[in-house]
Amino acid sequence: MTRPPKDGDDGLRRIGRRALFLGGLQVATLGVLALRMRYMQVDQADQFRLLAEENRINLRLIPPVRGLITDRAGKLLAGNEQNYRVVIVREDAGDVEAVLDRLSLLIPLEDDHIERVLREVRRHRPFVPVSVAERLTWEEVARVAANAPALPGITPEVGLSRHYPLAADLAHVVGYVGAVSERDLEALEDPEPVLQIPGFQIGKLGVERRMEETLRGSAGSRRIEVNAVGRVMRELDRREGTPGQNVQLTLDHRLQNFVQARIDGQSAAAVVMEVETGDLLAIASSPSYDPNLFARGISQTDFSALLEDAYRPLVDKSVQGVYPPGSTYKMVTALAALEAGEVVPEERIFCPGHIDVSGRRFHCWKGGGHGRVNMVSALSESCDVYFYELAQRVGIDRMHAMARRFGFGERFELPMSSVSAGLNPSREWKQRRRNESWLVGDTINASIGQGFVLSSPLQLAVMTARLASGRAVEPRLVRAVGGVEQPVRDWPSLGLDPAWLAQVRRGMNETVNHQRGTAYSSRVVEAGYRMAGKTGTSQVYTITAAERAAGVRRQEDLPWNRRNHALFVGYGPEAAPRLAVSVVVEHGGGGASAAAPISRDIMLQALHGGLPPLSAYPAPQRNRIETMQRELQERLLPAEISQGRRT
């Protein structure tokens, strides 16, 4: 069928209009695009060039060099050393677990360590390098490099790592560093970006932790060019960071080494403190551990061994451990009675071996009693009944106030972890904490450092320094920061009558130097080096009436953890005090037998600056002391041995 001519003309006109419309639309669209392109390429060129540059150039942080920790003579206690390490990049490695298995054939990698590395690899982005092993030897690095084709993603590097050259000698004081954990980041309100660098280490314990911001320094930066997936192409420029400040401690590393060696093998703590300045020369806890294990990433096997040790090596007993001070507290009771005017030093009190108060019998350590004793003899022979009588006259309020003046119940501000305040009990404390009224029996127990009273070896050293100086001395651990000496305070007077202090010091002198003194066997016979002190034995296991009637068992017959704690505090030289010493031996049995001999050896070592001459000891003891010194030399630093003097 043939279409009429009129219909054909109409169709052509419709097609022409559509073509014109579409053509116009295309021209308009192209015009808009052209205008937009001109706007972006010309008018907005600078802005887009800046955005492109920012996407291509990244700013990355450079970890700062950590500050050093030294002793008072400049001996390095915590430093940085270059070490060979191996890192892995997940995107280059492919099968990370298989690569690590092959790597373990070349360098020692335990299974639990490999698991830790795998967890770290999964935590970070694929192109971020993760440390696999630190402190490798040159031979180990060479083996890794030689087998590089079989180890995709593995790269040897040279970096800085924390090192503790004296290892266990200062572990509890200096502490250690470790990698930043999620818990560390959560504890900070606004953590610095440098803390999120993979493998970055911060202080975890001790001075390393408490002075973290001082030691850390500030990070540097570098501008690097990266590709589309974030891989580094080249470094454009670098700005080094500011190293952390060096910290100098008051400690004497040689004395610390000796103290740690002397209490080795026991669960014990010892503190040596300058009487006038408060400088801590040694502060040791035994057993100790090697902080380098933690800085490098301790294995589960090593960590479990530390946790399961009955002597608790991870606990710093010198500041964290608290113990009933026992008879070392008796000087506080005596001074409280003197200040209250409830006793004169010459007054004699009869000790039959016990005292009955409120229907309860309180025993003296000497079953047969001490007879008639005054203040000096009561201190030197450690008569309990004498102080029971003073306690009833004085009361807990005055005893509490006097104990406070000597540092009991006070948490001293030191850059160490978990410094304890101990416990200086009072009526208010018992009512608040136990909802019970204070009893006269509580006062009697407190008078001999038992009951609720608790103190740390540090607090006992502070008490002793205050007794020797008459001033409110406080312990000091930091000597200088960044090369700037920290000022020594002019410690105020305790406000005690010198005559009262003289009586107490006389009692401490006779404790060590009188034949009837409890520490006479630990006396020093060398002129100018004699010390004064006080023994203490704090009860751990309560003796029942039936056991007392049947005959008290010897300490040696009890399980170790039920034996009494042994304590001793002392200062020397007795005539012109320079140093205060405190020693606590957990479950050591008796202060006279376990703690006093250690204190004497430490005091002589500190005063002589090396192994003391045998002439400092009583003649009958010299063969035994010589044998002990010979055995100690195996643990002493070489330079220390050369300083020893023998006559």
Residue with tokens 């009588």: 389
Average pLDDT over residues 105-127: 85
Cα–Cα nearest to 269, from 600, 589, 583, 602: 583
CB 599 within 8 A of CB 461: no
pLDDT at 646: 35
Report residue 301 as tokens. 């096997």
In the predicted structure, residue 590 carries a pLDDT above the cut 90? yes
pLDDT at 159: 73
Neighbours of 619 (CB within 10 A): 9
Q: Which residues pair with 162 in a beta bridge?
A: 80
CA distance 637 to 87: 36
pLDDT per residue as tens digits for the range 173-224: 999 999 888 788 888 877 888 887 767 889 999 999 999 999 999 888 777 7
The alpha helices in 406-544, defined as continuous H runs, are 427-434, 440-447, 457-469, 498-513
Cα–Cα nearest to 363, from 454, 449, 445: 445
Distance of CA 603 to the CA centre of its chain: 24
What are the Cα distances from residue 54, in Å, to 59, 158, 275?
9, 30, 61
Residues 6+ apart with CB under 8 A from 44: none
Which H or E run includes 328?
none
For the ranges 91-95, 341-345, 615-619, 638-642, which has the lowest average pLDDT? 638-642
Cα–Cα nearest to 219, from 254, 244, 188, 250: 244
In the predicted structure, residue 375 carries a pLDDT above the cut 60? yes
In the predicted structure, residue 35 carries a pLDDT above the cut 90? no
Question: Which amino acid does the sequence have at 76?
Answer: L
Cα–Cα nearest to 478, from 231, 278, 636: 278
Report residue 519 as tokens. 């520490």
Would you place residue 292 in the very low, low, confident or very high pLDDT band (cuts 50, 70, 90)? very high
HSE-CB at 295 with a 13 A cutoff on CA atoms is: 26
User: Is the whole-model pTM more than 0.75?
Assistant: yes
Q: Running DSSP on this structure, what letter comes out for residue 72? A: T
Average pLDDT over residues 560-587: 95
Q: What percent of the chain has pLDDT over 70?
A: 89
Catalytic residue status for 285: no
Would you place residue 638 in the very low, low, confident or very high pLDDT band (cuts 50, 70, 90)? confident
What are the Cα distances from residue 385, in Å, to 366, 541, 544?
10, 20, 19
φ/ψ (deg, to 5) at 316:
-85, 95
Catalytic residue among 318, 327, 377, 538: 327
Ramachandran sector of residue 135 (left: φ over 0; alpha: ψ -120 to 50; beta: rest): left
pLDDT at 245: 97
CA distance 88 to 154: 5
Q: Running DSSP on this structure, what letter comes out for residue 452? A: T
Domains of the chain listed by start with CATH number: 60-249 (3.90.1310.10), 253-286+319-643 (3.40.710.10)
Would you place residue 357 in the very low, low, confident or very high pLDDT band (cuts 50, 70, 90)? very high
Neighbours of 58 (CB within 10 A): 14
Could you give the angle at the alpha carbon of 292 between the alpha carbons of 413 and 188, nearest 5°? Answer: 50
Would you place residue 119 in the very low, low, confident or very high pLDDT band (cuts 50, 70, 90)? confident
Would you place residue 10 in the very low, low, confident or very high pLDDT band (cuts 50, 70, 90)? low
290 vs 237, more confident: 290
CA distance 124 to 110: 22
CA distance 643 to 478: 26
Query: How big is the chain, counted in residues?
Result: 647
What are the Cα distances from residue 461, in Å, to 149, 274, 468, 473, 513?
62, 10, 11, 10, 20
Which H or E run includes 202?
strand 201-203
3-state secondary structure of 155: strand
pLDDT at 368: 94
Would you place residue 399 in the very low, low, confident or very high pLDDT band (cuts 50, 70, 90)? very high
CB 636 within 8 A of CB 258: yes
Give me the helix-helix angle, 96-103 and 111-123, nearest 10°.
140
Name the average pLDDT for the chain. 88
Residues 6+ apart with CB under 8 A from 330: 378, 379, 382, 387, 447, 448, 449, 534
CA distance 215 to 273: 25
What are the Cα distances from residue 3, in Å, to 9, 14, 372, 528?
11, 16, 148, 139
Beta strands in 210-359 (DSSP E): 220-226, 232-239, 247-249, 268-274, 280-286, 349-351, 354-357
Ramachandran sector of residue 394 (left: φ over 0; alpha: ψ -120 to 50; beta: rest): alpha
Would you place residue 300 in the very low, low, confident or very high pLDDT band (cuts 50, 70, 90)? confident
CB 582 within 8 A of CB 594: no
Average pLDDT over residues 629-647: 68
CA distance 323 to 587: 11
Ramachandran sector of residue 52 (left: φ over 0; alpha: ψ -120 to 50; beta: rest): alpha
pLDDT at 52: 54
pLDDT per residue as tens digits for the range 132-188: 887 888 888 889 888 888 898 888 877 788 999 999 999 999 999 998 887 888 888
In the predicted structure, residue 647 carries a pLDDT above the cut 50? no
In the predicted structure, residue 46 carries a pLDDT above the cut 70? no
pLDDT at 642: 39
Q: Which residues pair with 450 in a beta bridge?
A: none
pLDDT at 25: 75
φ/ψ (deg, to 5) at 417:
-85, 140
For the ranges 102-111, 415-424, 543-552, which has the lowest average pLDDT? 543-552
In the predicted structure, residue 529 carries a pLDDT above the cut 70? yes
Neighbours of 477 (CB within 10 A): 21
Would you place residue 60 in the very low, low, confident or very high pLDDT band (cuts 50, 70, 90)? low
Cα–Cα nearest to 583, from 418, 406, 464, 466: 464
